[in-house]
Amino acid sequence: MVSEAKATVAKSIGTRATDGKQLTRGAVALGGLAAGYFLVVGLHRAGVLISDYYLQILIWVGINTIMGVSLNLINGFTGQFSLGHAGFMAIGAYVAAYMTKILGAPFAPALLVGGTAAALGGLVVGIPALRLAGDYLAIATLGFGEIIRVIILNLDVVGGPRGLPGIPAHTTFLWVYAMAAATVVIVRNLIWSRQGRALVAIREDETAAETMGVDTTRYKIMAFVVGAFFAGVAGGLYAHKITFIDPSQFDFMKSIEALVIIVLGGLGSITGTVLAAFVVTFLPEALRAFADYRMIIYSLMLILMMLYRPRGLMGTAEFGFRQLGLGDARSSARDVGGQAMGRNDGPPPVLETRGVCMDFGGLRAVSDFCMTLRQGELVGLIGPNGAGKTTVFNVLTGLSEATCGSVHFMGNDITRKRPSEINDMGIARTFQNIRLFSNLTVLDNVRIAFRGERPYSMTEAVLRAGRYSSQEEEICRKSMEFLRLFGLDDRASEIAGKLPYGAQRRLEMARALATGPKLLLLDEPAAGMNPQETHELLELIRWIHERFDLTVLLIEHDMNLVMKLCQRIIVLDYGNTIADDAPADIVKNRRVIDAYLGEEAV
């Protein structure tokens, strides 16, 4: 009790300290932004450095920044290759222009409605994004952009192919500056949150993200909706800057322009995008002296920049508070105390499969698979290569849908549930061919998996308000706790893909446990480990089994490990269960010896 009270006190102090720093950061950000604005305006008024001409260019930089940052949310952070950004901009531009010019509405609501209309477009595009990926998605979004353009071309109320002239020139430097700053802050806050980690997890490995409980459908649509909203705002600013819009301004090349900005800046870097918006806007202007050769030189310079910085100017790095010495404790590893545990209360977990079969084409990979796992059991699933063991895991975790039969977990039918739902209910797994989010840090891998009872909302994340601070603090603390249990706490800030093999296996287990499972499925955890490491693994599995009150199902070929660890062993061969018995009886089973163990093992 005493230690608990101490932990609470320590926690509240910690939270307050963080809040203090957060306020400082907020003040610095606001002050910096205001100072930046007044500096530009002051210099402009005084006629030093910034002429009218440069102020105009800065306005374009701002619009390009919004365009780039919003696309980076979709492309760079979520990894959904979209080529339809001009379409979202067109919606925002036309809706906003229609409101101000024809309906006489003020600028602010016009921008907002334009952005919202574009967000609706994002919702529409988000739906194909659920089924498509990579090049296919790029083509689909490209098609979407063209459809928008053609629709506008045939829409007489907004001038059709003649365009929409005489739009009020509302877009001032203040507007653009404020909007660009708002976009950067909101997208930044979104990225550095629970939601942002989910987006990045989708980019890194969608399947692994699903099995860690990330609802990929929801988050992909969210990325498209938020990205499209800001693209729409950029479109509105664009229209009220240029005062004349026609459909040809929003063609494929506009989308490419946005793509150039984010690729040059670095996919997954907001500061990189801002920097690239400067480069891409200023460079063609600075090269005006070369007249006709201007665009050739510009293109060559882009090629050279990409050759020397193939991952963009900033890669995925950011320039921010950390470089200014105002780092966020939550985003970096550190020593934290207290006791962490998953959600292990509730009724006793029982898994039951009834007559599960699984066909791939004409091939029956698993047939009539019946298994009951009682609470707290440690069961081995063995069998020759290709017997269907991993397929069973895929069915249990929802990655494959059983052709027939049903799977029941704690009394619920989970046969047709999505992987993220199944993980939410309390089944977590590791993968035979390790599927970490390999470009992210060790800590982030675990943090993605972590979820609280009532996680904070997206609004709270963007505003850095409500439960955000305390929960982030807790997620970081508990994640570090898990890393310590697995001996990885001193590597928390290393990139997961660079860890040695054994450490990657341990991290995958830590990540699975962080989702708070009741049933843990381990797919060949000892593969690639030497006897010494296997022995340590044995101890580790025993220990987590006890400590987290888990039921464990284990696929493994290391019979030494299986025999020592498991209370019961199920043997599969060609998709059929050929034995289900205690270890001592399994090694004497003739069918198992013939199919799997061989004579020498007896």
Which parts of this chain interact with another protein (CB under 8 A)? 360, 382-387, 390, 432-433, 498, 500-503, 524, 527-535, 557, 559-560, 595-598, 600-601
Q: Which residue, 156 or 600, is less far from another protein as judged by CB?
A: 600
* Residue 501 beta carbon to another protein: minimum distance, rounded to whole angstroms: 5
Q: Which residue, 475 or 510, is less far from another protein as judged by CB?
A: 510
* Residue 505 beta carbon to another protein: minimum distance, rounded to whole angstroms: 9
| Three-class DSSP category at 316 | coil
* Residue 401 beta carbon to another protein: minimum distance, rounded to whole angstroms: 16
Q: Which residue, 98 or 437, is less far from another protein as judged by CB?
A: 437
* Residue 383 beta carbon to another protein: minimum distance, rounded to whole angstroms: 7
Q: DSSP class of residue 376?
A: T
Tell me how far CA of residue 98 lies from CA of 32, 131, 150, 156, 251, in angstroms. 35, 34, 17, 12, 20
Gap between the Cα atoms of 371 and 449, Å rounded:
28
* Residue 270, amino acid: I
Question: φ and ψ at 521, to 5 degrees?
Answer: -110, 120
Gap between the Cα atoms of 437 and 145, Å rounded:
31
Are the CB atoms for 195 and 270 separated by under 8 Å? no
* Residue 324 beta carbon to another protein: minimum distance, rounded to whole angstroms: 25
Q: Which residue, 339 or 530, is less far from another protein as judged by CB?
A: 530
Helices (H), 266-379: 270-286, 294-308
Q: Which residue, 33 or 495, is less far from another protein as judged by CB?
A: 495
Q: Which residue, 371 or 529, is less far from another protein as judged by CB?
A: 529
The number of C-alpha atoms within 13 Å of 501 and in the hemisphere containing its C-beta is 10
- Quickly list DSSP for 352-366: EEEEEEEEETTEEEE
- Which residues are within 8 A (CB) of 182 and not within 5 positions of it... i.e. 6 or more apart? none
* Residue 58 beta carbon to another protein: minimum distance, rounded to whole angstroms: 38
Q: Which residue, 520 or 529, is less far from another protein as judged by CB?
A: 529
Gap between the Cα atoms of 422 and 428, Å rounded:
8
Tell me how far CA of residue 160 lies from CA of 89, 237, 442, in angstroms. 17, 20, 53
Among candidate residues 86, 92, 111, the one with its CA nearest the CA of residue 172: 111
Gap between the Cα atoms of 271 and 367, Å rounded:
53
* Residue 538 beta carbon to another protein: minimum distance, rounded to whole angstroms: 11
Q: Which residue, 146 or 205, is less far from another protein as judged by CB?
A: 205
Are the CB atoms for 590 and 602 separated by under 8 Å? no
* Residue 526 beta carbon to another protein: minimum distance, rounded to whole angstroms: 9
Q: Which residue, 211 or 391, is less far from another protein as judged by CB?
A: 391
Q: Which residue, 68 or 525, is less far from another protein as judged by CB?
A: 525
* Residue 444 beta carbon to another protein: minimum distance, rounded to whole angstroms: 20
Are the CB atoms for 195 and 222 separated by under 8 Å? yes
Look up residue 596 and give its two tokens. 């799997």
Q: Which residue, 501 or 543, is less far from another protein as judged by CB?
A: 501
* Residue 364 beta carbon to another protein: minimum distance, rounded to whole angstroms: 14
* Residue 498 beta carbon to another protein: minimum distance, rounded to whole angstroms: 8
Q: Which residue, 348 or 386, is less far from another protein as judged by CB?
A: 386
* Angle value at C-alpha 329, between 327 and 332, nearest 5 degrees: 90
Q: Which residue, 379 or 387, is less far from another protein as judged by CB?
A: 387
SS3 for 139-167 is HHHHHHHHHHHHHHHCCHHHCHHHCECCC
Q: Which residues are 331's β-sheet partners? A: none
* Residue 362 beta carbon to another protein: minimum distance, rounded to whole angstroms: 11
* Residue 531 beta carbon to another protein: minimum distance, rounded to whole angstroms: 3
H or E, element range at 514: helix 501-514
- Which residues are within 8 A (CB) of 432 and not within 5 positions of it... i.e. 6 or more apart? 390, 523, 524, 527, 555
* Residue 558 beta carbon to another protein: minimum distance, rounded to whole angstroms: 9
Gap between the Cα atoms of 159 and 164, Å rounded:
5
Gap between the Cα atoms of 279 and 291, Å rounded:
18
Q: Which residue, 154 or 530, is less far from another protein as judged by CB?
A: 530
Q: Which residue, 146 or 558, is less far from another protein as judged by CB?
A: 558
Please say whether the dihedral angle defined by the alpha carbons of residues 73, 76, 82 and 84, taken in this order, is positive or negative. Answer: positive
Gap between the Cα atoms of 480 and 195, Å rounded:
19
* Residue 309 beta carbon to another protein: minimum distance, rounded to whole angstroms: 17
Gap between the Cα atoms of 377 and 554, Å rounded:
11
